[in-house]
A = this chain, B = another copy of it.
């Protein structure tokens, strides 16, 4: 009889957001009329900007007439979009990324998940801790994680703690991994690394033949000068790094789906004979074989983001969220919480008071202040004792959240 991939059965149930939803429902059922403020799930709330809406309507009309109808597009994305990405996201920042190094997809979650297809299952992986769970779970599925220990750590994955003890700056790995995932601005902590701090990582990867998988999904929230928008701002990064980008948080595309991945030419891994092989060609083959391109509509929508109007409108929306982040950061600090994030990021990461666990603090916030956040322990062992709030809400609700949390 046919066999399943046993790695899937090793994965414990993913219960973070369903458990959050269950507890919120139990509370609101028991307390009708109480107004709960949701600062938990990292989804945007502001509508798509007018430039995108206009482009989407136009693209729909293209699909309505034979002469403008668009069927199968290039699996790696339309040139009209990849050219603009190359120009505006890279060349204008002095980074030489060509259109044929860019692969447009339905989102960064797909790409960070699927990138393992082109890598050997023998590679050892390192992740920061806390971490976006997709990096870990997809390596479990791919057979790279080993066994799950009682401490919540997988035996073949190195966890690089990011806590207040090291100011949320991960140390270099000790275990000689082959692949490292970094996400900056970071989900869930909202922290960033400076140019010099990222250079340490690029140099380390170059010196040790390590592939750096760099998730820059929150790049649009960066406002400080010394925080790189792309890993390729660091010299030598094109030899070691794949970069993942997303329009989800940048432009509110969580519902209409679009992202892209940069696989620079010249970035090489070893085959079984020890010969170097370019990853760009491998990813191209993966995408042309297992993917049929992102929606034409969404690609036209993304193209509009690079117009003068589009760029201004995106900035306005991000500024709106960043003002929420500022309110949370400043207000909670004033209220006595230990807080990081929220400067170049929509995420606020706070230390739970006294000896409360993340889930105890979740219940406490919900019952006492009627506020929903996300327990840090859901993001990995080093997230225990922390809590995530997001800036994806209205000014009014955010202000109200700060006021409630300031009540003693």
Is the CB–CB distance between A2 and B211 below 8 Å? yes
Is the CB–CB distance between B56 and A297 below 8 Å? yes
Is the CB–CB distance between B271 and A9 below 8 Å? yes
Query: Which of A27-35, A94-102, A108-116, A396-404 faces chain B?
Result: A108-116
Q: Assess whether A357 is interfacial by the CB under 8 Å rule.
A: no
Residue of B nearest to A8 (CB): B282
Is the CB–CB distance between B289 and A1 below 8 Å? no
Q: Assess whether A265 is interfacial by the CB under 8 Å rule.
A: no
Per the bound structure, the CA–CA distance linking A363 and B20 in Å amounts to 63
On whether A47 and B60 interact (CB within 8 A), knowing A295-B298, A298-B297, the answer reads no
Name the one of B14, B122, B291 contacting A109, with C-beta atoms under 8 angstroms. Answer: B291
Is the CB–CB distance between B106 and A106 below 8 Å? yes
Is the CB–CB distance between A5 and B255 below 8 Å? no
Per the bound structure, the CA–CA distance linking A75 and B67 in Å amounts to 34
Is the CB–CB distance between A69 and B45 below 8 Å? yes
Contacts of A45 in B (CB 8 A): 66, 69, 71
Least Cβ–Cβ distance between A27 and chain B, in angstroms: 23
Is the CB–CB distance between A296 and B118 below 8 Å? no
Q: Assess whether A327 is interfacial by the CB under 8 Å rule.
A: no
Residue of B nearest to A257 (CB): B295
Scan A200-224; emit 1 where CB is below 8 A from any B CB, else 0: 0000000001110000000000000
Least Cβ–Cβ distance between A75 and chain B, in angstroms: 9
Contacts of A50 in B (CB 8 A): 64
Per the bound structure, the CA–CA distance linking A109 and B291 in Å amounts to 6
Give residues 281-329 of A contacting B (CB, 8 Å). Answer: 282, 285-286, 288-298
On whether A64 and B44 interact (CB within 8 A), knowing A5-B282, A8-B285, A120-B6, the answer reads no
On whether A63 and B71 interact (CB within 8 A), knowing A270-B3, A277-B9, the answer reads no
Least Cβ–Cβ distance between A283 and chain B, in angstroms: 10
Is the CB–CB distance between A11 and B285 below 8 Å? yes
Per the bound structure, the CA–CA distance linking A286 and B71 in Å amounts to 28
Per the bound structure, the CA–CA distance linking A209 and B252 in Å amounts to 46
On whether A138 and B289 interact (CB within 8 A), knowing A2-B210, A47-B64, the answer reads yes
Is the CB–CB distance between A53 and B44 below 8 Å? no
Least Cβ–Cβ distance between A321 and chain B, in angstroms: 13
Scan A221-246; emit 1 where CB is below 8 A from any B CB, else 0: 00000000000000000000000000
The count of identical subunits is 2
Is the CB–CB distance between A2 and B178 below 8 Å? yes
Contacts of A6 in B (CB 8 A): 120, 271-272
Residue of B nearest to A116 (CB): B5
List A residues at the B interface (Cβ < 8 Å). 1-6, 8-9, 11, 14, 41, 43-48, 50, 53, 56-57, 60-61, 63-66, 69-73, 106-107, 109-110, 113-114, 117-123, 134, 137-138, 141, 178-179, 209-211, 252, 254-257, 269-272, 277, 279, 282, 285-286, 288-298
The 7 closest A-B pairs by CB, nearest first: A1-B209, A113-B290, A3-B120, A2-B178, A71-B254, A43-B71, A255-B296
Given contacts A63-B256, A71-B254, 16 further A-B pairs with CB under 8 A are A1-B269, A2-B119, A2-B269, A2-B270, A4-B271, A4-B277, A5-B117, A5-B119, A5-B282, A8-B282, A47-B64, A57-B60, A106-B291, A113-B291, A255-B296, A297-B298
Question: Can you report 19 A-B residue pairs in the complex whose CB atoms are below 8 A from each other?
Answer: A2-B120, A2-B209, A3-B122, A4-B120, A5-B117, A11-B285, A41-B72, A45-B69, A53-B60, A53-B63, A63-B252, A63-B256, A71-B252, A106-B106, A113-B289, A141-B289, A257-B292, A297-B297, A297-B298
